[in-house]
Structure 1
Amino acid sequence: MPRTRFRFGEVEASDIATPSLERIANRIEDRGIVGYEGNRRGTRDVVLGNDYLFFDFEQEVGRDVNEFDENDDVVQVERYFVHTMRFLLLDNGRYAYESTRKVTDSDALDYIFEPFQTEYDNERYETLNLEQMRSFYKSRPKIRKIKVEEIGQKDPNPSWPDEDLADLIYDAGEDTDNSIFSVGRKNNDLKNVEVIQMGLLSFHIYHLLGHAILKEIFRSY
């Protein structure tokens, strides 16, 4: 099943007041596709709401591919492909963007701020705090899967007593690089498992999959 990963951040103009969402929307719609072959970029499907701006950011990305030439020899040539990234900007400067190969939030922000002839400062959020994680957990009807990478310092050992395993999960936030919560389907549900309940108290979520709750999580920062 395809999975969508969103990342979060915050931005403001460096030397002028940050332009309003309406001004940004008008500029990017008027600007269209800019750049030369191999570096063309622009936006499509711009949607302006009361407190948000949503659009598809598109950028050309180069890739080396093998092709037959006129002599039927295999040669390597560079071809350009369009990569699309969904981007959500709120009126308080916070933003979310779809993780897309070879396209970053800075690419979209450069495109947004260039017409205003100003630099910008942005900060990417790397973690969700405990309260945000608890809010996500409590708001889901089911939790089907929890994935944790690099949990604790100990090597795997299936003979661990239950209390040691519980302690490891409880303290996982200290050394966890990546945690993924999957919203459940059918009858799979981890929500009432005691050891998971304990672990949730100290998990730090680095990547949150799914966009149905994107705005709610985003607003809690």
Structure 2
Amino acid sequence: MTTTETYKFGRLTLDQSDLPTPTEVYDGIDSRFTIREEEYDEARDETRVFKEKGRDPNLGDDHEDYAFCHFTYVADTPDSILIRNEDDEEEESDRRKLETSRILYFENGQFAFESRQDLLDLWTPQFIGKITDTELDGDDWRFEPLSQEIMSSFYQDRPIISILKVEQPEDENEVTGDSTLANAVADLAGRVASQRFSVGNRSGNNLKGATIIDQSAENLDILEVSGKYENSHTTNLKATGPVTISWNESDWSDSTATEQRAELIQGKLSPFLGQLND
């Protein structure tokens, strides 16, 4: 069974000596709900209490700067709050469920969190601060897009490319050159705000190696790219920050799945985190 998840990256911007450690994050998760916020509901004439918790923590402490704590963040949202009962037990529902997001927090203050439409990005650093008793203000964290260096490096390194979206760089001159190809790339950049190439549903096709595609990736800004190595799963990057990864966990036993999944996700995400440090 193939699992696909999308992650965004962030960083706590405290001094290294003030950063919580992965062990402190691990120790702070006790699977009990705590209050995130309270909000008065005029229509119901009642105060709605929104809660959150962490669960299923796993500590990967043998990766130096990328030692990490992996856990699942669980939160009430306006759509899900009605199915958590008075004893804070999660009730099954065919229509609504508590929202969850997988989170990895690293020794150097970086974190990766599974992107969910109903969960605000800022809840991740706020929760990490709360469970580790680390005082955080709004400027003590930031969320990180992917640089053009990261996007270009990914395109160059993967032999198989299935999606490429590009646009004319705003802070650079127009594409120049006397060749027919350069003129074609310049014409492409000048006619449309952006251009997306895709192999669609055709298996075995590859954008890499098509000269105009390679030239577009070299001369224009890459907004999105999907690629892979031979016999591996596809990874998708968007310059705004999201990274979508996939893996197959059907061979894992129930007793080891949590640890194996955490190590696999760490391995897939840490190269991008490392490039954000460059």
Q: TM-score, normalised by structure 1?
A: 0.70
Q: Which residue identity does 1:191 align to in structure 2?
A: K
CA separation in 1, counterparts of 2:19 and 2:71?
Answer: 18
Deviation at 1:190, TM superposition (A): 0.5
Q: Which residue of 2 aligns with 1:206?
A: 240
Q: Residue 206 of structure 2 aligns to a residue in which SS?
A: coil
Which deviations, in whole Å up to 9, do the C-alpha atoms of 1:63-89 show, x marking residues without a partner? 39xxxxxxxxxxxxxx97411111122
CA contact (8 A) 1:38 1:80 kept: no
| CA distances 1:166-210 after superposition (whole Å, capped 9, x unpaired) | 0256789xx76x98989x983110011111212222424224442
Match of 1:105 among 121, 128, 131: 121
1:145 aligns with 2:163: yes
1:92 & 1:117 partners in 2: Cα distance? 15
Does residue 30 (structure 1) correspond to residue 85 (structure 2)? The answer is: no
Write the distance in 2 (CA, Å) between the matches of 1:171 and 1:133. 21
Residue number among 158, 175, 193 corresponding to 2:210 in the alignment: 193
Query: Match of 1:206, as an amino acid?
Result: T
Q: Does the 8 A contact of 2:4 with 2:245 survive in 1?
A: no
Instruction: Specify the code of the residue in structure 1 equivalent to 2:143.
Output: R
| Residue identity (%) | 19
User: Superposition pairs for residues 49-68 of structure 1, below 5 Å?
Assistant: 49-50=60-61, 51-63=67-79
Q: Amino acid of the residue matched to residue 95 of structure 1?
A: F
Provide the rounded CA distance (Å) in 2 between the counterparts of 1:102 and 1:22.
Answer: 28
- CA distance in structure 1 between the aligned counterparts of 2:241 and 2:13, rounded to whole angstroms: 23
Question: CA 1:169–1:87 in 2, change beyond 3 Å: closer, same or farther?
Answer: farther
Alignment of 1:6-17 (within 5 A): 6-13=7-14, 17=18
Runs of at least 5 residues in structure 2 that lack an aligned partner in the other structure: 39-47, 62-66, 81-94, 171-179, 223-238, 247-267
Q: Is the 8 A contact 1:5 1:207 kept in 2?
A: no
Aligned to 1:186, what secondary structure does the other structure show? coil
Partner Cα separation in structure 2 for residue 5 and residue 63 of structure 1: 22
Compared CA separation, residues 206 and 46, structure 1 to 2 (3 A): same
- Is contact 1:151–1:168 with CA below 8 Å preserved after alignment? no
Residue-pair matches, total: 194
- C-alpha distance in 1, partners of 2:190/2:273? 26
In structure 2, relative to structure 1, the CA distance for the partners of 1:63 and 1:31 (3 Å cut) is closer
CA contact (8 A) 2:8 2:243 kept: no
- The structure-2 alpha-carbon separation of the partners of 1:2 and 1:23, relative to structure 1 and needing over 3 Å to count, comes to closer
Aligned to 1:20: 21
Alignment of 1:43-122 (within 5 A): 43-50=54-61, 51-63=67-79, 81-115=97-131, 116-120=133-137, 121-122=140-141
Gaps of 5+ in 1: 65-78, 154-160
Retained in 2: the 8 A contact 1:180–1:207?
A: no
Post-superposition Cα deviations, 1:79-132, rounded to whole Å, max 9, x if no partner, equal 9741111112221111221210121231122122124151241111123232x1
Do the aligned residues in 2 keep the contact of 1:56 with 1:87 (CA within 8 Å)? yes
d(CA) in 1 for partners of 2:270, 2:141: 19
Task: Provide TM-score, normalisation by structure 2.
Answer: 0.57
Alpha carbons of 1:26 and 1:169: their partners in 2 closer, same or farther (altered >3 Å)? farther
User: Is the 1:9–1:94 contact (alpha carbons within 8 Å) kept by the matching residues of 2?
Assistant: yes
Please give the root-mean-square deviation of Cα atoms over the aligned residues, in Å.
3.8
Partner of 2:144 in structure 1? 125
Letter in 2 for 1:24: V
